[in-house]
Structure 1
Amino acid sequence: MSLLAPLRDEINARRVSRACAGDAAAFRALYRELHPVVAGFVGRRVRVRADAEDLVARVFMAFVKHLGEYRRDRGSVHAWVLRIARNAIIDEVRARRTALPLDAVAEVLPGAGDLLGELLAREQRDLLVDHIAALPAEARELLALRYADGLSHAEIAGVLGLRADAVKQRVSRTLRELRGRLQAGAEKGAAEYVV
């Protein structure tokens, strides 16, 4: 979380108030700041670019429609717009009746420069991706919000409608579970080579 986040949140809350009063410049400033955040959030969850762009447009239509309903005491504008985006994605998935895979949290591990190093890195990444895919959807979403979207525990709490300490505990529990699965897999692999 950036040290400037509280300042950004206060500025955006004031922009919402001014935009509700008809200040077009305040709304443009909100849009310029929030569009990349929403587009990245949606783009990491919707694979087809045209569908992602359509969803982003719908998110901002809902944002405009419900702008007067924003309440500062319920969280930041940032978390609020991401909650709108999350709900739009869920609605889209329900309408299509298909599964929407969350992007893997793991980034491509840097290779050692040689083929063996690249193969080992790819194998480790694939193993992590497999373990993440085996997690419940709620746990995968928490990891995606925390590490792919870079949200703080408080911002995730605002998106999901939970308490920040509950989010922190769930993320920590999920990471411990992943670490345990990876260690168990490594020990099993080592035992196979000893035989």
Structure 2
Amino acid sequence: MDRKELETLIAKCALGDRAAFDALYAATSSKLFGIVLRILKTRAEAEEVLQEVYVKVWQKADHYAAGGFSPMTWLITIARNAAIDALRRRKGGSEALSETVINTVPDAGPGPEVLAVQAGERARLMGCMSELEPDRAEAVQAAYLEGDSYADLADRYDVPINTMRTWLRRSLLKLRECLSR
């Protein structure tokens, strides 16, 4: 589904159109679930957070500005932030599922073809990550894959929080430039 179609669905959701919401969910849920699962690592928790994400999308659809960020960027940001919030809540407590329960859940992961494509994309991304300074690359990974906050990273690297924000913003710009080549 292209950007225009997603923007139309989000606009219809803002007007309370349930059919548009169903179509938006069908078009985007698998990608958002993958992002949430990558952060949380547990399928059950990721499914729960994904529900929260779509509740937020339904409630905040009128906040989306067409012509600004792409609709997928907007949706991914909501999903990523919800997953990081859940991860932070979890860090204070124990894991919801034991390792044995996690291991008994059947693997519904991607097949070999998808894994091969993902491996190529991962190699490309890692090549771009290697172009960043090592501390910047570690900070990007900690912030966007592990859910560390700006404050945590600023403390870890002993820099002011605004410096950490600048590091991350500039690093993401370099990655985007590298990936667009």
Q: TM-score normalised to the size of structure 1?
A: 0.50
Find out whether 1:36 has 2:30 as its counterpart: yes
Identity %: 25
Mark the runs of 5 or more structure 1 residues left unpaired by the alignment. Answer: 1-6, 99-105, 109-127, 145-159, 174-195
| Distance change in 2, residues 1:49/1:25 (3 Å) | same
Q: Partner of 2:140 in structure 1? A: 138
- Per the TM alignment, residue 25 of structure 1 is displaced from its structure 2 partner at its CA by 1.7
Q: Displaced runs of 4+ in structure 1, greater than 3 A?
A: 139-144, 170-173
Structure 1 residues 108-158: Cα deviation after superposition (integer angstroms, max 9, x where no partner) = 9xxxxxxxxxxxxxxxxxxx9xxx9x95242456689xxxxxxxxxxxxxx
Q: Partner of 1:193 in structure 2? A: none
Q: Partner of 1:96 in structure 2? A: 90
- Per the TM alignment, residue 49 of structure 1 is displaced from its structure 2 partner at its CA by 1.1
Q: Partner of 2:55 in structure 1? A: 61
- Per the TM alignment, residue 56 of structure 1 is displaced from its structure 2 partner at its CA by 0.8
Q: Which has the larger radius of gyration?
A: 1
| Distance change in 2, residues 1:143/1:61 (3 Å) | closer
Count matched residues.
Answer: 119
Structure 1 residues 168-194: Cα deviation after superposition (integer angstroms, max 9, x where no partner) = 414678xxxxxxxxxxxxxxxxxxxxx
* Whole-angstrom CA distance in 1 between matches of 2:73 and 2:30: 14
Mark the runs of 5 or more structure 2 residues left unpaired by the alignment. Answer: 93-117, 121-129, 147-164
Q: TM-score normalised to the size of structure 2?
A: 0.54
Structure 1 residues 41-90: Cα deviation after superposition (integer angstroms, max 9, x where no partner) = 11222211111111111111111111111111331111111100111122
Q: Partner of 1:123 in structure 2? A: none
Contact 1:139/1:171 (<8 A) preserved: no
Contact 1:143/1:171 (<8 A) preserved: no
List aligned pairs for 1:103-114, cutoff 5 A.
107=119
Q: Partner of 2:68 in structure 1? A: 74
Residue 31 of structure 1 aligns to a residue whose secondary structure is helix
Q: Partner of 1:26 in structure 2? A: 20
Contact 2:39/2:84 (<8 A) preserved: no
Q: Partner of 2:156 in structure 1? A: none
| Distance change in 2, residues 1:172/1:80 (3 Å) | closer
- Per the TM alignment, residue 31 of structure 1 is displaced from its structure 2 partner at its CA by 0.9
Amino acid of the residue matched to residue 59 of structure 1? V
Amino acid of the residue matched to residue 136 of structure 1? E
Find out whether 1:167 has 2:172 as its counterpart: yes
